[in-house]
Structures are given as C-alpha cells and as structure tokens.
Amino acid sequence: EVQLVESGGGLIEPGGSLRLSCAASGLTLSKAWMSWVRQAPGKGLEWVGRVKSKTDGDTAEYAAPVKGRFTISRDDSQNTLYLQMNSLKIEDTAVYSCTTVNYGYDASNIWGQGTMVTVSS
C-alpha cells in the first residue's frame, strides 16, 4: 500500500523559508511523478507544482504564484520528496499535500494527509 506522509509545516514570518517533506512508502519515489497541492483555510484546492520521475527527465512545473520561490526536489536515499519554500508570503498560508500523479492525465491518485503552513508576523 502506498502511503505519503508530509511534515515540516509550522508558523513562519513573511519572507522566511520552510522546507516541507513528503516521506513515501510502498513506492520508489525516483520512478514516480509527484505533485504538491495546497488548500488555504476554508478555500478550494490550488495546484502548486509537479515533478516528473527521474527516468522521465525529473523536470518540474510550477504555478505562477510560487514560481521562482518554491522548488520541488527529492532524496532517493530517503525516498522523500521536498518542497523548498522561500520568500514566503501571507497568502502562502495553507495545508500542503503531496500526491502521486498517474494515468497520463496528471491525476492525483494518492494523497498525503497534508501539513499546515502558517505565514504570519
């Protein structure tokens, strides 16, 4: 059974940096396409970014609001996906979830439970 467990969220001041982790079990992360999705309190879902598997090029795409500030990476030895978030803004406050991506339609078929990031002074 595939499981994704996010961690690393917390309270951070505007302009600060945070790195979220997504520990995967039941799959080899280097072979998986993965994404990050966020949800601000009481709001809808917002796609953050997606990275292809290493075998497919390991390239990433990002949403406009986070492009240049957020970076997706992975540590194969730890089977862990990361979301490095820099220059955080108040509007980045949200629950961040990692997902596996599948089926050729960028469908997020397995989700973690999410980790809360609060950007506030």
Partner 1 sequence: DIQVTQSPSSLSASVGDRVTITCRASQSISNYVNWYQQKPGKAPKLLIYGASSLESGVPSRFSGSGSGTDFTLTISSLQPEDFATYYCQQTYRFPLTFGGGTKVEI
Binding stretches for partner 1 (CB under 8 A): 37, 44-47, 50, 61-64, 97, 102-109, 111-114
Question: Closest distance between partner 1 and the C-beta of residue 49, in Å?
Answer: 9
Q: Which is nearer to partner 1, 38 or 74 (CB)?
A: 38
Residue 103 zone, left/alpha/beta (φ > 0; ψ -120 to 50; rest):
left
Q: Which is nearer to partner 1, 37 or 72 (CB)?
A: 37
Question: Closest distance between partner 1 and the C-beta of residue 39, in Å?
Answer: 9
Distance, CA of 80 to CA of 23 (rounded, Å): 4
Distance, CA of 50 to CA of 52 (rounded, Å): 7
Q: Which is nearer to partner 1, 4 or 12 (CB)?
A: 4
Distance, CA of 87 to CA of 74 (rounded, Å): 21
Question: Closest distance between partner 1 and the C-beta of residue 69, in Å?
Answer: 14
Cβ–Cβ under 8 Å, residues 89 and 113 = no
